[in-house]
Amino acid sequence: MIGFLARRLGLLLLVVFGVTTVLFVLTRLSGDPAAIMSPPDAGPEVLAATRERLGLNDPLWLQYVNTLVSTFTFDFGQSFAMDTSVSSVLWSRLGTSLYIIIPALVIGPLVSMAIGVYAALRPTRRSGRAVMGAAFLTDGVPYFLLAFILILVFAIQLGWLPATGNASYAALVIPVAVLTLQAVSATSRLVRGQMLDALGQGPVQTARSLGLSPAVVLFRHALPLALPPLLAWLGIQFSFLFSSLLVLEPIMNYGGIGNLLVRSVNQRDFPVVQACVVVFAVLITTVNIALDVAVRGLDPRLRKAS
Amino acid sequence: MTATEIDSPPAGTASAPALRLEDVRVELSGSSGRVQILRGVSFEVPRGQIVALAGESGSGKSTAMLAAVRLLPWGAGVSGTIECQGEDVRALSSRQLRQFRARTARVIFQDPWSSLHPMRSVGSQLVESARSADGSLSKAAARELAVETLRRVGIPDPKARMDVYPHQISGGQLQRVMIAMALVARPAVLLCDEPTTALDVTTQAQILDLLRDLNRSEGITVLIATHDLDVIAGIADRLVVMYAGRVVEDGPAQQVLAAPKHLYTWSLLQAAPAHQHESRLRPIEGRPPRSDENLPGCAFAPRCPGARDECTGELPGLELVAVGHRSACLPVQQQKEAQQ
C-alpha cells in the first residue's frame, strides 16, 4: 500500500511538471502580455518597460526555470493584470467555485445512483425505460444550452432565481442544477448498466439462494460488484466538472475560478493562468488517486497485485 | 394407472417425497421469442436419498433444479406442481420463499469461483448464510458454527480460513466452502447444480464423497444435476435421465446403469468409457433438438439407433417398465407389453 501510494504521488508530480511545461510553451506562443496590458497608443519604450517589469525580457530558459520553481513552491508571485498577489485571488475564487462544486459532487452521484438502481430493477417496465429515456435526452443537450434554458425559464419567465452572479444562495441554484443534470444524465445510465450486469452475476444469484432480503441482496451483494467501474467514472466526471466551469461561470457571470482562468487567458496574465491550471491538475489527479485507493479498499483481489 | 399415481402418496404424509415435480413446464424469453426449456417434467426425490438428474447440456436439468427454488431468470413462465418438504413452492409468498430458501432447500452452484462474493471474506459469507437461516443466532455463535462446519467439510485450519477471500483458495476448497455455506443452515434438501464440473477429477471424487457422507450422517436429501454418468454412478440411489426438456427414464441408479430402459440412456452408456466393455466407444450421432424445435414424437427418435416409425409420430408417456423404474421409450414399452 505504501509503495502504491508512493508511485501515485510520483505520478502526481509528473503530471504537474508536464502540465506546467505544456502551459509554458502555449502561453509564450500566445502573444505579448505587455501589448495587451498597455494602452493602444503606448510607445515602444513603455512596452519595453512593462516587459522588463514582468520579467519577460529574461532568457526563455530562465523564465521556464522560474515557472517550474513557482509551480513546485506554490508561490506564483504577482498577477500581471491585477494589482494583487496570485495566491490571494486564486484561493478566494476557488472558494467561490466550491459553493457550486461541492453540492454538485454530493447531489450528482447520489441522484445518479438512485435513478440508475431504480431503472436497473425495472429493465423492461415503462417506468424504468421512461427514466432512462429522460436521462438520454438530457445527455444530448449541451450543458451551456441547459444553463440558458434554466435561466430563461426560472430567472426570466418565472423570476424565481437570479439569472447571473454569485451574490446570494439563490444564485447558486441554476449553476448547481446544470452541473448536476449534466453528471446525472451520463452517470445514471452507467449505474443502470453496471447494476443490471451485477444483478445477473453468480454471487448475486447465490445471495438470493440464501433467502436474504431484496435490500440486502441489492446493497451488500450487487452494489459492491457494480461499484469499481463507477468510482473510476466518477474520477473522469470530476475533470468534466472543472472543464464545465470554464464555460458555465463566464456565461453566468459567476465569480469563481473558471471565470478567473478564462479572463486571465484573455489578458495573458501568465502567473494566474499557471496557478489555476496547476490547481486544476492537482485537484483532479488527487481525486483520481483517492478513488483508486477506494477501489483497492473495496476489492481484495487488487490488494495483492502491485 | 400411471406410474406417478403409484409412486406418489398424498403430500403432507410422513413419507411424502422431499421434492416432487409434476408436469412442470418452463418458458424463457430467448433472442427468438419464447422458448420451451421444460416440456412437462415429473419426478420425485424421496427423503434421505441421493438422486442424480442426468442429461446433456440444454436438457433442462439445471432449469428444473432452479425452478424448485424459484431462482429462474426474471420473466420465466412456469406451470405445473412443485412441492418441496410438503410446501407448494409456486404458491409461497415472497416472505415465505425467503424462509424456504434460507432453511429448507439450499443450492450449490456449478462454478464456485463465480458463486462466492469476490469482495467478502469466506467467514462473513458463512456467517451471513447461517444467520439468514436462524435469525436468533448471534454473530459470535454464527462464527463458531461456521468454523465448526468448515472443519466438517474438510477444510484444514478452518479458523484461519475464515478471514481469507475466495480468490486466495483453490477451487476444491471453494466448493467445500459453498457446501459449508449450505450446511450452516441445516437444510433438509441440497440441490447441487453440476457441483463438480468445474473441478479436476481427484477433487470431484472428494466432493462427491463429502456429499454422500453428509447424506448418510445427516439424512440430507441430495439432488445432483450432472452430465457425467460416471460421476454419480457410485453415490446416487436413483437416476433421473432428461432429454430435450423431458424426463425419459427414472429408476434405481444401479438398475438404470446395468439395464437401461430407454434407448437414449443406452446410447449414452455406449458412449461412456466406464460402461462400455467393447474396445470402441460409440458416440451418439447428430445433435439434440433446439429448444425452439417442436417434434411431435420422441425427441430422441432422429438420433436413435432403434427408432421405429411410431416413435416420430406420437409422444410416449413415462410408463412403469420394472419395479420403481419408468421409461418413455416406445420400443421398450412395446416389448414389455408383448411379454405380458
Contact A76, A32 (CB under 8 A): no
Residue among B13, B104, B51, B38 at smallest CA distance from B324:
B51
State yes or no: ipTM above 0.90. no
Q: Report yes or no: A122 at the B interface, CB cutoff 8 Å.
A: no
| B165 with A224: Cβ contact below 8 A | no
Judge: A210–B128 Cβ closer than 8 Å, yes or no.
yes
- Interface contact A298, partner B, CB < 8 A: yes
CA distance A105 to chain B (A): 26
Query: With an 8 Å Cβ cutoff, is B132 touching chain A?
Result: yes
Higher-confidence residue of A64 and B14: namely: A64
Given a cut of 60, whether residue B250 has pLDDT beyond it is: yes
A169 pLDDT band, cuts 50/70/90, is confident
Q: Quote the pLDDT of residue B9.
A: 46
Residue A263 near residue A17, CB atoms below 8 Å: no
Whether B109 and A207 lie within 8 Å, measured CB to CB = no
d(CA B148, CA B107): 20
Taking an 8 Å cut-off on Cβ atoms, the answer to whether A206 and B101 are in contact is no
Calpha distance A208→B17 (Å, rounded): 25
Q: Half-sphere exposure of residue B155, counting CA atoms within 13 Å on the CB side? A: 29
Top-confidence residue, B12 or B220:
B220
- Mind listing the pLDDT tens digit for each residue in B305-338? 888 888 888 888 888 988 889 999 888 888 888 8
Q: Between chain A and chain B, how many beta carbons pairs sit less than 8 Å apart?
A: 69
Q: What local confidence, expressed as pLDDT, does residue A36 receive?
A: 80
pLDDT value for B268: 85
Say if the Cβ atoms of B181 and A301 lie within 8 Å: no
Q: What is the pLDDT of residues B63-97, one digit of tens each?
A: 999 999 999 987 889 999 999 998 999 999 999 99
pLDDT band at B106 (very low <50, low <70, confident <90, very high): very high
> Which chain B residue has the Cα nearest residue A302?
B119
Q: Which residues in chain B are closer than 8 Å to A225, comparing Cβ atoms?
A: 117-119
Q: Which helix (H) or strand (E) holds A288?
A: helix A270-298
Tell which phi-psi region holds residue B196, choosing left (phi > 0), alpha (psi between -120 and 50) or beta: alpha
Instruction: Please give the Cα distance from B109 to B209 (Å, whole number).
Output: 17
Residue in the block written with cell 495483492: A304
Q: Using the beta-carbon criterion (under 8 Å), do B109 and A206 form an inter-chain contact?
A: yes
* Mean pLDDT confidence for A233-246: 92
Least confident among A76-85, A99-108, B271-280? B271-280
The mean predicted confidence, pLDDT, of chain A is: 89
**Closest to B132 (Cβ–Cβ): which among A202, A203, A212?**
A212
Of residues A203, A208, A211, nearest to B117 (C-beta): A203
**Angle between the A270-298 and A86-121 helix axes, to the nearest 10 degrees?**
40
Q: B129 with B168: CB under 8 angstroms?
A: no
pLDDT in tens, A190-216: 999 999 999 999 999 999 999 999 999
H helices of chain B, in order, are 3-7, 61-68, 94-99, 112-115, 122-133, 139-152, 158-161, 171-183, 201-218, 229-233, 253-258, 263-270, 309-313, 330-339
- Spell out the domains of chain A, with CATH numbers in brackets: 2-72 (no CATH), 86-273+288-305 (1.10.3720.10)
Global pTM? 0.83
B110 near A CB under 8 A: no
Residue A96's CB is within 10 A of a number of other CB atoms, namely: 19
B21-35 pLDDT tens trace = 999 999 988 777 788
Helices (H), B153-306: 158-161, 171-183, 201-218, 229-233, 253-258, 263-270
Per-residue model confidence (pLDDT) at position B81:
93
Of B111, B132, B181, the CB nearest to A202: B111
CB contact under 8 A, A298 and B115: no
